[in-house]
Amino acid sequence: MSDRRTQLQRRVVRRRGLSIVEVLISLAIAATLLTAVAAAFAATSSAVEANDQFFRATQAARVSMGLLLADARRGTVDDKSTATSLRLIVETRDANGDVVATDDRTYQFISAEKRLVMITNDGIDDAPYTLCSNVSDVRFDTDVQQFANGTDYVARVIVNIKVKVGNNEIHLAGSAAPRKYLTY
């Protein structure tokens, strides 16, 4: 019987499980792996968020550029325009070519707020409409030329918009030739 007890005790000893040291080492390895996975997830989600913000800011700037250049083509540039503020008088015509409506708009860069806004100069105190945010710089340049009679006119409007989100930056540039001119 004593041989039988010795065999049972050996089996019990063999089945007793992990020691405390082995459990602690296992937990340390698992904690290290989980920490690495959490850090990778946090970095990935931060990168996705930054890319999303940059995409949205870039897309808004592109749409703003298209709107601004379309208005510049259809309108006339006012002499009150500056390097950071472009005032346009845009006429809407019907199929016969008659003027149906006249819109007086100012596109302005507000550097302190890093945004490009559109202001309707219709006499009503409307708040400026934000076209795009995260704008680091906007420049409006006009190419002033002369008619044969010596009268100045704006032959071309050049627009430069820089958008910056984090370390990402994009520079958009475009130009338009107004169809109708205001003299300086």
What's the confidence (pLDDT) of residue 143?
87
48 part of a folded domain: yes
Asked whether residue 16 is assigned to any structural domain, the reply reads no
Whether 9 maps to a domain, the answer reads no
Q: Quote the number of domains for the chain.
A: 1
Contacts for 53 with CB less than 8 Å, ≥ 6 apart: 134, 165, 166
Residue 81 included in any domain: yes
Whether residue 76 is contained in a domain is answered as: yes
User: Is 19 part of any domain?
Assistant: no
Measure the CA dihedral 178/151/97/71, to 10°. 20
Residue 60 · residue 73 · CB < 8 Å: no
Q: What angle do CA 12, 15, 21 make, to 5 degrees?
A: 120
Classify residue 6: in a domain, yes or no. Answer: no
On whether residue 13 sits in a domain, the answer given is no
pLDDT of the chain, 184 residues: tens digit per residue = 566 666 656 655 555 678 899 999 999 999 999 999 999 999 999 989 989 999 999 999 999 999 999 999 888 888 888 999 999 888 777 888 787 888 889 999 999 999 999 998 877 777 889 999 999 999 999 888 888 888 888 889 999 999 999 889 999 999 998 876 544 4
Work out the number of other CB atoms within 10 angstroms of the CB of residue 104: 15
Query: Torsions phi, psi of 49, nearest 5?
Result: -65, -45
Which structural domain range is residue 157 located in?
42-176
Q: What is the pLDDT of residue 4?
A: 67
pLDDT tens by residue, 41-91: 999 999 899 899 999 999 999 999 999 999 998 888 888 889 999 998 887
